[in-house]
Structure 1
Amino acid sequence: MTDDATRRWLGATWTFVRTALPPAPARVVEIGCGPAGGFLPALAAAGYDAVGVDPEAPEGPQYRRMEFERWSPPAPADAVVACTSLHHVDDLDAVLERIAAATRPGAIVVVVEWARERFDERTATWCFDRLPPGDGWLHRHAARWRESGAPWPAYLDEWAATERLHRGDAIVAALGRRFRTRSVEAAPYFFADLGLSDDDERSAGIALTGLRYVGLAE
């Protein structure tokens, strides 16, 4: 994402994350905060004791520049936030076990993800028709699909297999085996890359491929 797209994404998603969290000053761990710092600035401003874990995290005392699988938390967290950081991990079950081990009983687990199996041709075409100038991941998919000459489902399945991407329904099922599910809902996913609002995508009549999950640690 561009800087503008990242800000648009974080701003639109923060309301969901904030509503799901326990009251400040709870201890919150964000997995995969990325080079932009994820929700850490918003968490700090809201009074949370928060840390972000990511190999590409920014410099700063609230960040840990490493893989979550290698990090040893100093104390159990009251909440964990994982935003688009699970669908591409090598071992989903191992990461979820680490999350369970890093949280206290009753902790909140907030996951924002992508259900790539819902990314159908109608939704892809809607996205590609609205691409702003640039060279983002959707631009690259539009060009590669055109060049491949393959039907969209075959193209998407081959790409997902090559990248070893987990399906959204598999992520939800794995979360449900380790945490007590409180809510699961579909949500907009592409709007930030397209320069649109999440409401624009929600009202477009396309598949909502975003995934928002809230669960409780046992």
Structure 2
Amino acid sequence: MTPGERWLAATWPFVRSGLPTPPARVVDLGCGPLGGFVPMLRAGGYDAVGIDPQAPEEAHYQRIEFERADLPQQVDAVIASTSLHHVADPAQVIDRMTGTLIGGGAVVVVEWAWEKFDEQTAEWCFKRLGADDESGWLHRRRHEWLASGDQWQNYLRDWAEREGLHTGEVLLRLLDERLERQLLAHGPYFFPDLAATTEADEQSAIDAGDIRPTRIDYVGTAP
């Protein structure tokens, strides 16, 4: 499995647990080239559509930014997996997400709190990178950091600023301002991109205090 496929398989149980029962209408925001959760949703009886500029060129997808997409009216749930920290204006996107929901509709979010990616966590990840794929995002972060000669936190902050990344803290505040929080949990994030490392391995390191949990699992409902 590719890292993307591992991520989808690992996060699907949580995503599914936050959704209403099928045949609910669901939008998968930022589904990516693999199609996100849309194949699993449709196989499970959901009326699902994925939205992403790099979405598959198939039915049930819109290859466009979420901000400009032709959204279904009155959907039952919106999924956003590791997409909100990249968008230019998360408040605008979350407003659009909540605006398309029915009353009581669900927003299921899986996100990354990059600000918690401290040096100890980074070193733990870098020691577990495979040697066969130097193009992965964690490989690039390691190479850039070492080349910079700077302290990790300085490098991370500068990289996040260049990429326009939003912190997990900001995203949670924006979500809580618009939704009624039903669930918030933190856990493993990096394992799909690491060699011979499972979600359970990363969770064990978190439990031991060796690394920080940077993944955010969030479920909120529209008032």
> Normalised by the shorter chain, which TM-score bucket?
over 0.9
CA distance in 2, matches of 1:200, 1:42: 26
Cα distance in 2 between the residues matched to 1:174 and 1:14: 24
Structure 2 runs not aligned, ≥5 long: none
The reply to whether residue 158 of structure 1 matches residue 158 of structure 2 is yes
- Give, in whole Å, the separation in 1 of the partners of 2:162 and 2:96: 25
How far apart, in 2, do the equivalents of 1:18 and 1:136 lie? 28
* Deviations, residues 104-138 of structure 1 (Å, cap 9, x unaligned): 11001000000001100000000001101212010
Match of 2:171 in 1: 171
What's 1:204 paired with?
205
Quick one: which of 123, 126, 129 aligns to 1:128? Answer: 126
Contact residue 178 and residue 222 of structure 2 kept, 8 A: yes
Cα offset, 1:28, TM superposition: 0.4
What is the distance in 1 between the residues matched to 2:2 and 2:70?
33
Look up the match of 1:140.
140
Tell me how far 1:200 sits from its aligned partner.
Answer: 1.0
| Distance of 2:53 and 2:193 partners within structure 1 | 23
Cα RMSD of the aligned pairs, angstroms, is: 0.9
Aligned position for 2:32:
34
Alpha-carbon deviations, 1:179-207, whole Å to 9, x = none? Answer: 11111110111000003221111111310
In the other structure, the counterpart of 2:181 is 181
The partner residue of 1:61 within 36, 59, 62 is 59
Task: Establish whether residue 8 from structure 1 lines up as the match of residue 6 from structure 2.
Answer: yes
Between the aligned partners of 2:84 and 2:71, the Cα distance in structure 1 is 19
Runs (5+) with no aligned partner, structure 1: none
Q: Is the 8 Å Cα contact of residues 22 and 44 (structure 2) preserved in structure 1?
A: yes
Per-residue deviation, residues 149-190 of structure 1 (Å, max 9, x unmatched): 111111111111111110001100000001111111101110
Name the CA distance, whole Å, in 2 between partners of 1:149 and 1:19: 44
Deviations 1:69-127 (A, max 9, x none): 11122321100000000001101111011111111110010000000011000000000
3-state SS of the aligned residue for 2:56?
A: coil
* Other-structure match for 1:97: 95
- Relative to structure 2, which stretch is displaced further, 70-79 or 31-40? 70-79
Secondary structure (helix, strand or coil) at the match of 1:106 reads: strand
Q: TM-score, normalised by structure 2?
A: 0.95
Inter-partner Cα distance in structure 2 for 1:110 and 1:55: 20
Identity %: 51
Aligned: 1:50 with 2:78: no
User: Within the alignment, does 1:21 sit opposite 2:19 as a pair?
Assistant: yes
SS in 1 for 2:205: coil
* Matched positions, count: 216
Q: Distance in 2 between matches of 1:178 and 1:188?
A: 26
For 1:217, which of 191, 209, 222 is the aligned residue? 222
